[in-house]
C-alpha cells in the first residue's frame, strides 16, 4: 500500500473508530416515554359545550318532544387513577335550555364516575359511566332524582401535565312519580346529549 | 340487592383503605342514595309540562299590567272593568284564538274609576242592563261622602254603555254590587263614630227593585263591621233561595254565621242560613266567606248566555283561608275541601266558575285563588257521596283545563274572577276568561291582565291559555 493510500485511509479509519467509540459513550436518544398512570395519580378537568335535548319517554316506551331549545353545559371533575387504565372520580355539572315560553330548565347533576382509559399515545380515549343525583328546576318546580351519564371522550396529551379533547355524553334522567300529585302517568325519562370540549390537568 | 350493596361496600373499604378507598366509598354511597330517593314538591311533572307546553300567544290588545276587577258578557260584547271599562266584540263566531279588539269607554263622570261592573242577567244573551260603581274619590271622609262611590245603571249596546246614576244611593259610598236572579243588592259603607275621637266604617246592604232601595236585615242585624261580600240565588234549594254572605262571621249565641237566606228580599229581611261546618282545629269565627256561587243541575234547566247548562246542583262557598263547601240542593253539606298552595299553605280563594258539561262529559269547577287556580272534576250532579277535592291543573283529566298553565304566569297570579262564555255561535269554542291582578312586577313573569282559555286548535280539551 503506498503512503498516499495509507494517508487517505487513516482518517477514514480514525473517523470510523471515533464514531464507534462515540456510539459506545453516547447512546442514541430513547423514544419519548408513553404516559402511564398508577395508583395515586389524579386528574382534574373542566369542560363546556352544547346541551342537546333529544326526547322524553314514558314508562310505556312512548316518545315525546322536549320542546326545549339547544342549551349549554359546563362541568368540573376529578379522577383518581387506580391503575393505568382505570380511574374513579366525581363530577359536578350544570346545564340550561329554554322552553317555548322562555322558561329555563336547569339541571345540576352530581355524579360518581368510573372510567376506563384506552391509550394510543399521544391520544387517550376514556370510556366512562357516571351515576348520581340530579337537581332539576323549571320555574318554581323542583325535582331531585337519579341520573346516569354514559359517555366517551377523545383527548390529546399536550404535555405530561396537560391534555385537551372532546367529550360525548348521554344523559338519562328519570323523573318518577307515584301519585297522586303529580300522578304516576306523568313519569318521564329525559334523554339528552352533551357535546363538550375539555381541558385536563394531571398530577 | 341490599346484600350486594353491603358486600360491595365492605370490599371497597377492605381493598383500598386510606383516602382513595374512602373516596370510592363515598361515591358508591352517593350512587345508592340516588337510586333510593327522589322527590318533587310540585303538582305537575317537569318533563310532562315541557312536552305539552304551548307558546303563550296574545290574542287581544289589553295591557298585561291591568287588574281585571270584573267582566261581563252582554249582547255580543265583552266588557272588562279595570278602572276604565273596556269593550270588545266577543268574536264568538271568529273561531279559536280569534283576536279581541278592546276599546276604552268614557265614564259617566270625568275622571271616575269603575270599581265594579255586573250584568243584571249574566245567563241571558240578550239582556243589556248592567250596573257599576264609579268612584270619584279615593275614600269616604266624614266631610265628603256624597257622590264619591256612586251606583249607576247602564244600557250596554254595540260596545258602548249609556249610564244613569241611581239617586237612591247618591249619599252612600257603594262598596259592592251583587246581582242574582235579576235582583240587585248594593252594599254600602258609612262613617260612624265609635267614641268621641274615633270613627270606623260600617256596612249595610240594600235591595234595589228598580225604584226603591230597601235596607235589609241579616239575621236581625242591619249594620256590619265588614262588607256583604257575595251572594247567590240557589234555584234548587227549597223552591229557590237568595243567599247573602257577610265578610266577617256574626256570632249569635254560641254559633258563628256567615250565610243568610230569603225567598223574598223585597220583604227586607234575611234569616240566618246554615252555619258552615267548622274544620277541626278552627273556630267558626275564622271562616270568612270570600265567594258564593250556585251551579244549577240540569233539572233546573238554566242557561248560560243562551246555551243550555248542565251543572252540579249545589251552592259553593269559598273562604279566605282556603276552604270550599258545597250546599247540595237537597239541603246538606258536602266538604269542606281544603286547598293548599305550592308551599303547603292555605290560600285565599276568590272567583268560582263551573264549566258544566261544555268541555266533556265530566264537569270542572274552577276556583281562583291568590296563587293561580284549582280544579275539581266530577260527573254531575254532585251528591253526598261525590268526591270533593281540588287539584292544581295537571292535564291528566279529560277536561282538565290546561296544557300550558304551568308555563303561563297564570299559575302564580292572583285570580279575581272568571267568566264562562259557552259560545252558542260556535259551541266548540267554549271560552273561560280569568281576570287577574296586574302590575309591573307581574309583567316580568308574563303579565297579569286578562287570560283566555280555549280548546286546542283541533277543538279538543285540555285547552290552552292565551293573553288578551
Residue B207 has a pLDDT of: 96
DSSP string, B117-136: EEES-TT-SS--EEEEEEES
Chain B CB contacts of A175 under 8 Å are 38, 40, 45-47
CA-angle at B275, arms to B271 and B276, nearest 5°: 140
DSSP string, B264-318: -GGGSEEEE-PPPPPPTT--GGG--EEEEEEE--GGG--EETTEE-----EEEEE
For A193, counting Cβ atoms within 10 Å of its Cβ (0-12 exposed, 13-18 middle, 19+ buried), the class is: middle
Q: Which helix (H) or strand (E) holds A166?
A: strand A162-175
Of B54, B392, B412, the CB nearest to A100: B54
Q: A88 and B38: CB-CB below 8 Å?
A: no
Q: What does the CA dihedral B70, B74, B78, B83 come to, rounded to 10 degrees?
A: -40
Chain A CB contacts of B31 under 8 Å are 112, 131-132
Chain A CB contacts of B56 under 8 Å are 101
Question: Which positions ≥6 away from B174 have C-beta within 8 Å?
Answer: B133, B149, B150, B151, B186, B187, B188
Distance CA B262, CA B244 (A): 9
Chain B CB contacts of A112 under 8 Å are 27-28, 30-31
User: If you ran DSSP here, which 8-state letter would residue B169 be given?
Assistant: G
For chain A, the average pLDDT equals: 86
CA-angle at B422, arms to B416 and B425, nearest 5°: 135
Higher pLDDT, B139 or A101: A101
Distance CA B127, CA B462 (A): 31
Q: Let me know: does B178 contact B116? Beta carbons within 8 Å.
A: no
Q: A88 and B391: CB-CB below 8 Å?
A: no
Residue B397 has a pLDDT of: 47
Q: B48 and A188: CB-CB below 8 Å?
A: yes
* pLDDT band for position A11 (cuts 50, 70, 90): low
Q: What is the average per-residue pLDDT within A85-97? A: 96
CA-angle at B250, arms to B249 and B253, nearest 5°: 130
Q: Order the strands of the B373-378 sheet from edge to edge.
A: B349-354, B363-369, B373-378
Q: A190 and B47: CB-CB below 8 Å?
A: yes
Interface of A with B in 129-158 (CB under 8 A): 131-134, 136, 138-147
Q: Let me know: does A105 contact A78? Beta carbons within 8 Å.
A: no
* pLDDT band for position A160 (cuts 50, 70, 90): confident
Confirm or reject contact between A100 and chain B (CB < 8 A): yes
Q: Which of A79, A68, A77 is nearest to A107 (CA)?
A: A68
Instruction: Reduce the secondary structure of B186-235 to three states and give it as a string.
Output: EEEEEEEECCCCCEEEEEEEEEECCCCEEECEECCECCECCCEEEEEEEC
* pLDDT band for position A35 (cuts 50, 70, 90): low
Q: What is the average per-residue pLDDT within A100-126? A: 93
Distance CA A45, CA B20 (A): 18
Per-residue pLDDT of chain B (468 residues; tens, 9 = 90+): 334 444 444 444 444 444 444 444 454 444 544 444 445 555 678 998 888 887 777 767 788 788 999 999 999 999 999 999 999 999 988 888 888 999 999 999 988 999 999 999 887 888 899 999 999 865 555 444 445 789 999 999 999 999 999 999 887 889 999 999 889 999 998 877 666 666 677 899 999 998 999 999 999 999 998 899 999 999 888 888 999 999 899 998 999 999 999 999 999 999 999 999 999 999 999 999 999 999 888 766 577 887 888 888 899 999 988 899 999 988 899 989 988 876 677 788 888 888 887 877 677 888 888 888 888 877 778 888 887 888 777 555 434 556 667 666 777 788 999 999 999 888 889 999 999 988 655 444 556 889 998 888 888 777 888 888
B26 in helix, strand or coil?
Answer: helix
Give the range among A30-44, A58-72, A84-98, A105-119 with minimum mean pLDDT. Answer: A30-44
Distance CA A172, CA A56 (A): 10
Q: B28 and A39: CB-CB below 8 Å?
A: no
Q: B31 and A112: CB-CB below 8 Å?
A: yes
Residue B124 has a pLDDT of: 82
Q: What is the average per-residue pLDDT within A139-156? A: 92
Question: Within its chain, how far is the Cα of A57 from the centroid?
Answer: 27
**Number of Cβ pairs < 8 A linking chain A and chain B:** 132
Predicted-complex ipTM score: 0.83
A39 to chain B: nearest residue by CA? Answer: B20
Q: Let me know: does A123 contact A156? Beta carbons within 8 Å.
A: yes
Higher pLDDT, A203 or B446: A203
Residue B193 has a pLDDT of: 66
pTM beyond 0.90: no
Confirm or reject contact between B53 and chain A (CB < 8 A): yes
Amino acid at each position: 500500500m503506498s503512503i498516499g493510500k495509507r494517508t487517505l485511509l487513516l482518517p477514514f479509519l480514525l473517523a470510523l473508530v471515533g464514531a464507534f467509540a462515540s456510539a459506545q459513550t453516547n447512546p442514541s436518544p430513547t423514544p419519548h416515554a408513553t404516559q402511564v398512570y398508577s395508583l395515586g395519580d389524579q386528574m382534574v378537568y373542566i369542560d363546556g359545550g352544547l346541551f342537546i335535548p333529544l326526547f322524553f319517554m314514558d314508562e310505556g316506551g312512548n316518545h315525546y318532544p322536549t320542546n326545549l331549545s339547544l342549551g349549554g353545559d359546563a362541568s368540573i371533575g376529578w379522577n383518581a387513577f387506580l391503575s393505568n387504565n382505570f380511574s374513579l372520580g366525581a363530577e359536578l355539572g350544570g346545564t340550561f335550555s329554554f322552553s317555548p315560553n322562555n322558561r329555563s330548565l336547569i339541571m345540576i347533576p352530581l355524579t360518581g364516575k368510573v372510567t376506563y382509559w384506552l391509550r394510543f399515545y399521544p391520544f387517550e380515549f376514556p370510556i366512562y359511566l357516571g351515576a348520581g343525583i340530579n337537581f332539576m328546576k323549571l320555574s318554581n318546580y323542583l325535582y331531585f332524582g337519579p341520573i346516569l351519564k354514559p359517555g366517551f371522550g377523545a383527548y390529546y396529551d399536550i404535555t405530561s401535565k396537560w391534555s385537551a379533547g372532546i367529550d360525548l355524553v348521554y344523559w338519562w334522567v328519570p323523573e318518577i312519580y307515584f301519585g297522586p300529585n303529580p300522578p304516576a302517568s306523568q313519569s318521564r325519562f329525559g334523554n339528552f346529549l352533551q357535546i363538550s370540549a375539555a381541558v385536563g390537568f394531571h398530577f | 340487592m341490599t346484600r350486594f350493596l353491603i358486600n360491595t361496600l365492605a370490599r371497597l373499604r377492605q381493598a383500598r383503605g386510606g383516602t382513595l378507598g374512602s373516596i370510592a366509598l363515598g361515591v358508591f354511597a352517593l350512587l345508592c342514595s340516588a337510586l333510593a330517593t327522589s322527590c318533587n314538591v310540585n303538582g305537575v311533572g317537569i318533563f310532562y309540562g315541557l312536552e305539552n307546553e304551548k307558546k303563550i300567544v296574545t290574542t287581544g290588545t289589553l295591557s298585561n299590567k291591568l287588574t281585571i276587577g270584573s267582566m261581563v258578557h252582554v249582547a255580543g260584547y265583552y266588557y272588562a272593568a279595570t278602572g276604565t271599562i273596556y269593550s270588545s266584540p266577543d268574536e264568538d263566531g271568529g273561531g279559536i284564538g280569534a283576536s279581541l279588539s278592546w276599546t276604552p269607554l268614557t265614564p259617566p263622570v270625568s275622571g271616575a274609576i269603575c270599581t265594579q261592573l255586573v250584568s243584571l242577567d249574566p245567563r241571558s244573551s240578550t239582556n243589556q242592563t248592567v250596573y257599576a260603581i264609579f268612584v270619584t274619590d279615593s275614600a269616604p271622609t266624614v266631610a265628603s261622602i256624597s257622590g264619591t262611590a256612586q251606583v249607576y245603571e247602564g244600557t250596554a249596546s254595540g260596545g258602548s254603555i249609556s249610564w244613569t246614576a241611581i239617586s237612591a244611593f247618591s249619599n252612600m259610598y257603594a262598596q259592592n254590587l251583587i246581582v242574582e236572579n235579576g235582583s240587585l243588592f248594593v252594599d254600602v259603607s258609612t262613617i260612624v263614630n265609635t267614641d268621641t275621637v274615633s270613627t270606623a266604617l260600617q256596612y249595610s246592604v240594600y235591595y234595589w227593585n228598580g225604584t226603591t232601595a230597601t235596607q235589609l236585615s241579616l239575621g236581625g242585624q242591619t249594620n256590619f263591621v265588614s262588607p256583604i261580600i257575595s251572594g247567590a240565588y240557589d234555584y234548587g234549594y227549597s223552591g229557590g233561595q237568595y243567599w247573602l254572605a257577610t265578610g266577617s262571621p256574626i256570632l249569635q249565641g254560641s254559633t258563628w254565621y256567615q250565610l243568610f237566606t230569603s225567598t223574598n228580599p223585597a220583604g227586607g229581611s234575611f234569616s240566618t242560613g246554615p252555619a258552615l261546618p267548622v274544620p277541626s282545629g278552627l273556630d267558626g269565627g275564622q271562616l270568612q266567606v270570600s265567594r258564593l256561587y250556585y251551579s244549577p243541575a240540569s233539572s233546573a234547566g238554566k242557561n248560560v248566555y243562551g246555551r243550555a247548562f248542565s251543572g252540579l246542583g249545589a251552592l259553593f262557598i269559598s273562604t279566605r283561608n282556603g276552604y270550599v263547601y258545597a250546599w247540595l240542593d237537597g239541603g246538606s253539606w258536602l266538604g269542606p275541601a281544603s286547598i293548599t298552595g305550592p308551599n303547603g299553605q292555605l290560600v285565599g280563594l276568590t272567583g268560582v266558575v263551573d264549566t258544566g258539561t261544555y268541555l266533556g262529559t265530566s264537569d270542572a269547577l274552577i276556583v281562583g285563588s291568590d296563587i293561580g287556580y284549582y280544579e275539581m272534576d266530577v260527573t254531575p250532579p254532585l251528591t253526598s257521596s261525590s268526591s270533593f277535592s281540588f287539584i292544581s291543573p295537571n292535564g291528566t283529566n279529560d277536561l282538565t283545563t290546561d296544557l300550558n298553565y304551568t308555563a303561563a304566569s297564570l299559575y302564580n297570579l292572583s285570580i279575581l274572577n272568571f267568566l264562562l262564555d259557552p259560545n252558542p255561535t260556535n259551541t266548540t269554542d267554549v271560552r273561560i276568561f280569568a281576570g287577574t291582578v296586574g302590575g309591573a312586577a307581574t309583567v316580568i313573569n308574563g303579565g297579569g291582565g286578562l287570560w283566555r282559555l280555549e280548546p286546542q286548535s283541533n277543538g279538543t280539551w285540555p285547552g290552552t291559555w292565551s293573553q288578551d
